[in-house]
Structure formats: C-alpha cells, structure tokens
Structure 1
C-alpha cells in the first residue's frame, strides 16, 4: 500500500501493537516515543497520511504536538486520532478544537483501529 501512518506513544507495547495491526493490512508505520520525536520524524517524512497520538507523553504531550502541527490555522496537515487511557470530555473537546478527527481509548482494538485509519485516509 505504501501509505504512511505515524504513531506517537511513550509505551513501546502500544506502539508495537498499533504498528503490527497497521502493517498487517499494508500501511507503512513511522514510530515515535514522544511528541518531540514525532514532530521531528513527521517533519522529515513526506506524505504522512495520518497520525495516531497518545495524550500523555514526556517532552511534548499529544495536545502540544497537535497544536504545533496545526499551527495558527488550527488545521493539521493530515487527520489526527488521539489514543489514550483518558476519556475526559474536556480533553476530547480540547483535542477537537485543535483539529483532532478522532479519539480512541486504550486498550486499542485492532479491528476498530484499522477501520478508523481506512476511513480517515480514504484507503
């Protein structure tokens, strides 16, 4: 497929689970352990089609990453799905206000993850 999906999560296990589920259906996955690494990798990688992003990460959290990617227009260059253990309505509203297109609560279910990625990337 060759479609590039980025995953930013400080949990190695979560990154591996997400990467495996997406690789199984043909996506290329770029992994990052925190928001700062994700921003650097995304900036260096053309044609990212979607970001799956944890909220609570060291160095730069998911909301900070979302705001940095969205910039002053509050419009990220690709769809972003927040992936977290925290489902507080205030956080969800804040993420949506910064341009997030979805919110998934951990533990992630591979079928729902893949369906969400396919829907948001049009693949």
Structure 2
C-alpha cells in the first residue's frame, strides 16, 4: 500500500521524485499518465498524497484530479501539482478541484519534504 502516488509521463521525473521520497521513508507508487493514475487510485484508495504533472497524454493531471474528486468520490486525498505550467487559469482550475499546492519543476525535494510529511501525516 502506497502513501504517495507520483504521476508523470516523464520516466526521469517519476524516478527522481519517487527515489527521493523513498529515501525519506515514504512508500511510493508511480503512474505514467492521468489514466494510469486513476487506475492506481482505484486499486489503492488509501493513498494519502498524489504528486502529479499537469500536461500528460491520455488524461491530463487536472482532469485526473477532477475525476479523483468526482468519479472516485475521494475528497480527502491531498494533491500537489508538479509542473512547468504557470498559467493562472490552470492554477485556478486546480484550486477549484482541490489541489493543495503547485510546485514548479525542477523538483527540489529538500525544499518541500517538510510539507510532504505534513500532507501524508
């Protein structure tokens, strides 16, 4: 059972983020896009934190968040977007869907590990 689900279409980013989190004691699962992320959330509804890219094939990150909230009915999982996207409209859409934070790539784990620990509990 994973504590954190990392969703990104870039294998390099997925590996970097998941390895950092694992080295800090977290149980981590990964997904290659929003569709895969939804499948992983269905399989493991006990995930406490999703860290997701926005721009991905099949299902983008914000649509995945909306589906987690509405289709899966999961209103409690914490979600952080990890992206190069800085469009204020995207951020507003994310906030409306219940995104807790917006981290601009590249991932700087040491700068956010405290916040991640708080969100995972």
Q: Please say whether Structure 1 and Structure 2 have the same fold, judged by a TM-score greater than 0.5.
A: yes
Secondary structure at the counterpart of residue 48 of structure 2: strand
Unaligned regions of 5+ residues in structure 2, if any?
none
Unaligned regions of 5+ residues in structure 1, if any?
none
Matched, 1:115 2:110: no
Residue in 1 that maps onto 2:77:
78
Structure 2 counterparts to residues 1-123 of structure 1, below 5 A: 4-71=3-70, 76-122=75-121
The Cα RMSD (Å) is: 1.7
Count residues with an aligned counterpart: 120
Return structure 1 stretches of 4+ with deviation > 2 angstroms: 74-77
Q: What TM-score, normalized by structure 2, do the two folds share? A: 0.92
2:2·2:29 contact (CA, 8 Å) conserved in 1? no
Shift of 1:89: 1.4
Secondary structure at the counterpart of residue 6 of structure 1: strand
C-alpha separation between the residues in 2 aligned to 1:17 and 1:76? Answer: 28
Q: 1:107 to 1:117 in 2, by over 3 A?
A: same
